[in-house]
Structure 1
Amino acid sequence: MITSAYIHIPFCEKICHYCDFTKFFYEEKMADEYLVALENEIATTINKPRQKMKTIFVGGGTPTALNNRQLLKLVQMIEHYFDVDQVSEYTFEANPGDLTKEKIKILKNHGVTRISMGVQVMDDKMLEQLGRLHRIKDVYQNVNDLIQIGLTNISIDLMYSLPNQSFEGFSKTLEEALQFNLPHYSAYSLQIEPKTIFYQRYKKGTLTKPPEEIEADMYEHLRKEMRDHGYISMKLAILLSPDMKVSII
């Protein structure tokens, strides 16, 4: 029996230099057509309205790249086919900067219980090098808006072993991110994937990652800081309580 649903929204305002997920530049007409096709796909797959699920995850791309009208259509569509009142966790991925107060209210009013934000690094210069549109101030603004509106189950993604990133730089990012005291953090080492801008630069010899020993130091520092701040790994969390502070590392 299917107990979880993943819904993919493949649109972004800008394509990040490291991303190899299925994605397209956002265009309003294309997004409208995609939502029609998505509803047809869901209707074909789901036997009846208000299907019960344990979890629903809406990822991308960037689901919050949709405009207000499209985002409302999406959550209403999900409400029609899935019993969102009964899910244990209903997550939307979001990018800092395009998560407006209006969009937060749409998500909260239609049953979303968790926001996963792609922060990546707390360094404006490095965010620009990654091809990200947001800046550090947008992270603070969005976390504040989410808490004020009542969506407090917030997760942020971080990356390490980035081009030109020092151990000290990653340590500063981690320290600043942990000050939010959020219930969930995820951290990943950069993987240079084919068909990305970073891959092309890597092949040309114009992009290098930190040495493996520095990457290992970053990972060990990450583990220590998470433990020191009361976070446990996802594997252990599954065995214990869903209310635990969790890190994926």
Structure 2
Amino acid sequence: MNLEQSLTKRGIKVTLHKVEFTTNYTRAFLKIENSNEPHSNLVNFVLEPVAMQGKKQLRYISRFKKDFPQDGFSEINFSPIPPGVEEEGVAVFHPVGFTPDSPRTVILRFDSTVSPFIFEVPLEEGVQVRPKVEEDSTIKVVEVGQTRIAGGVLITLHKVEFAEEYTAVFLILENKNGEHSDIFFDETECRAIQQNKQFWRTFEGPKYRQIKVSIPGGIKEEGVVKFEAIDYNKGKIRFEFPVITNIQDRKRYRFIFNVSIPRTNS
């Protein structure tokens, strides 16, 4: 359902482009814009988004959950949003009810440090629920949850997704240095090693959110690095992610994650 509803409060504009209803999720397509002056405070969306249908809360589905749809749309980044920055993506919830006695309105609420942004979405008679799409059985996901810290930079590797054409690594980078201490994520030098074989980046597969090259102090950046397809059945993989913390001194840290592949019964 196309909506194009916008709310603006204290220089923060949130636009709800559309809401998609399926039998296994409800997905809101959003854009957040911070149009305040350059030295204004960052904006945080401090709680998980909330969706309500009558008295029923539709639980939020983050991208780290297996129910999150893997069709190329990235979860919107609710991390601190600096002035002049736009964020675009989706917020995913459990499915709405479409029985005859189900409430015909869904409330979407996004709480920020500025103000809550609340949208009312009518479930019109013409809305058709999209059928559930079967998951691709060739995709395997390994939950990792490892964190590395160096040079005031924190990197968390949440999960690794294995497919026939690519391997996707889901990361969060957090620059815990001062306000004017940008760090630089060198994606071109990221690599994966399995046994005696090296794997480089690829553009194959879904168009996931990429990690920005420059990350200011105090900012958390989330995204995905995709590598050439790695064999799920050949054991441990070493992932390396280089970060430059001072562009003048070129101080470089290499964040290393060793990921073990769980054994299967097959």
Is the shorter-chain TM-score for this pair beyond 0.5, marking a shared fold?
A: no
Larger fraction in helix: 1
Name the TM-score class by shorter chain: under 0.3
TM-score, structure 1 as length reference:
0.27
Of structures 1 and 2, the larger Rg is shown by 2
TM-score, structure 2 as length reference:
0.26
- More contact order relative to length (CA 8 Å, sep ≥ 6): 1
